[in-house]
Amino acid sequence: AIPGYGVTEQIFVGGFMNFLSIYNIVITARVLLSWFPQAQGIGVLQPVYQITDPYLNLFRGIIPPVFGLDLSPLLAFFLLNVLTNVTAAVGAEITPEQRAKFNKKYSPFAKKSVNTISFVH
């Protein structure tokens, strides 16, 4: 994403989150329409198939059908969920206190205490 807390970053992250949310809904509609084979012939629904089929076809070769049931949408939904979470994490604001705490804890230059073990004879 674009660094900083500017308006551009908010628009980019928010817009991409909206896109992923809408695409998730469209894929859900496509999965539900697969229960009705005659729906492929309806002209109004053709955009749903055209938008989702290229994405779903990526996963159809990875997961074979089980008992005639296409499980590829599960992997497609999983990847969409990961992308949504990554986008949300990129857009999350980190307060200066959280950043200082993180830098202090994980800094390679921070002085680390060494625990010594003493043996009693």
Identify residue 51 by its one-letter amino acid code. Answer: I
More confident residue, 77 or 69: 77
Nearest to 77 by CA among 30, 110, 42: 30
Nearest to 48 by CA among 71, 69, 32, 60: 32
pLDDT above 60 (res 112): no
pLDDT in tens, 26-54: 999 999 998 888 888 899 999 999 999 99
Q: What pLDDT score was predicted for residue 97?
A: 77
State the CB neighbour count (10 A cutoff) for residue 6: 10
Q: What pLDDT score was predicted for residue 116?
A: 53
**To 5 degrees, how large is the angle CA 101–CA 107–CA 111?**
100
Sign, CA torsion 57/87/21/69: positive
